[in-house]
Structure 1
Amino acid sequence: MHFEILVEGQTENTALSSGILEQILGKYREPHTWKIHPHQGIGKLPDDLFAAPNPKDRTLLHNLPDRLRGYSKRLALGDHSVSAVLVLVDLDNRPDCIAFKQTLVDILKVCEPPPNALFRIAIEELEAWFLGDVAAIRAAYPDAKLDILENYQQDSICGTWEWLAEAVHPGGLQALQNKGKRSPTVLAQKRQWAARITPHMDINQNVSPSFNAFKTGLEKLLHE
């Protein structure tokens, strides 16, 4: 099977590429393949789902209807090289995960025929997946603050990346948010967390509900 994977940015790209996909799908080309398409943030859906996207807007949701229609057109022409499309986004501060997912699923109504698509949402943010595997965090960051990690309520709306920063970043969140020249940007730090933590993750021990929904959804596709 070949999977086309649409994500918000480089953090998700790094996390999926650093071991998560291989743990679920096996080594690349043995036998499955995938291509990850990172965007420049999540953005928002266009008012007109049939409209051509603004080429200057590289956010995921803005381009999602057009991308899904593109896969649909390939199917209509008899091109079955793409087995499934996986869309991964953060819930962020949206109040209703179920309603948000339904909004995404409804985009398939503008596709004829609709591609085989799986929509998954990290709650509240992708860092919840890292916090779902404390052993992986401690392997990547031996000096991580265990009390903070243990007090995290899994997949809660609490400022997830900030919580992880307090646990693993030297000086905590305040030091990370420092705008001095030597302070890394938040996005760069998020990519570093993904690169360091995900190689240690055990997909069968993760306690994040949204991670497990991602994992089981992908595994189900393999057996359809």
Structure 2
Amino acid sequence: MKLVFLLEEESMKHFLDGILPKILPPDVGFITVPHEGKSDLQKSVPIKLRAWKEPGVKFVIVQDQDTGDCRELKRKLVELCGDTTQEVLIRIACHELEAWYFGDLEAVSKAYGKNITVLAKKKQYRVPDDIISPKRELKKYLPEHQQISGAKRIAQYIDINRNTSESFQALVSGVRKLIS
């Protein structure tokens, strides 16, 4: 079996490349396909689903919510999948990938050698998926953070079970269910 991840951006690719080996058994292969933003991903989805003919492949589409309505965004992605015979899992990162980092501040602290775990006690960071602009918030505490290199750094320390982001856990459980 192989999973094909269709992603909104490059940083999500590097993050998933780092965490998927922690989720998937060794006999399940995967590839991560980044796009140049939301509109590029959405334009690509129906094309890739129709054109991909490899047997035993299942698809996972991951897109940031940003400021949009989560349910509406998911409905639109389902619509883009059309009447495909491919098995597709759609997951939305609420609000951005960086919210998943706030779900495991211990991993972020290890990645940067700077203890920011105390942020988890602050009201505005207790529920990672409720942080409106997690990318901006992360930059406040880690000005050296860069999207791609940061995704690689943080992914190696992420604890799948410790992460408190509900949208991250929805991805993990969805992927596990997809391969079972």
TM superposition score normalised by structure 2: 0.90
Aligned to 1:103: 76
> Are 1:81 and 2:56 counterparts?
yes
- Give the AA of the match of 1:60: L
Q: Secondary structure at the match of 1:200?
A: coil
* Structure 1 stretches lacking a partner, 5+ long: 44-58, 171-175, 177-188
Q: Tell me if structure 1 keeps the 8 A contact 2:46–2:82.
A: no
> Are 1:167 and 2:118 counterparts?
no
Q: CA deviation at 1:88?
A: 0.6
Instruction: Decide which structure has the larger Cα Rg and report it.
Output: 1
> Are 1:64 and 2:45 counterparts?
yes
What whole-Å deviation, never above 9, does each CA across 1:141-165 have from its counterpart, x for those lacking one? Answer: 2325455454313101421101111
Q: Secondary structure at the match of 2:27?
A: coil
**Per chain length, whose mean CA-contact separation is higher, i.e. which structure has more relative contact order (CA < 8 Å, sep 6+)?**
2
Aligned to 2:173: 216
1:35 to 31, 36, 46: 31
- Give the AA of the match of 1:215: V
- Give the AA of the match of 2:91: R
- State percent identity of aligned pairs: 32
What do you get for the CA RMSD once the two structures are aligned?
1.7
> Are 1:202 and 2:176 counterparts?
no
- Pairing 1:8-19 to 2, within 5 Å after superposition: 8-18=8-18
What whole-Å deviation, never above 9, does each CA across 1:16-43 have from its counterpart, x for those lacking one? Answer: 112x1001003xxx21111111111112
2:147 to 190, 215, 218: 190
- Give the AA of the match of 1:165: K
Change (3 A) 1:145 1:81: closer
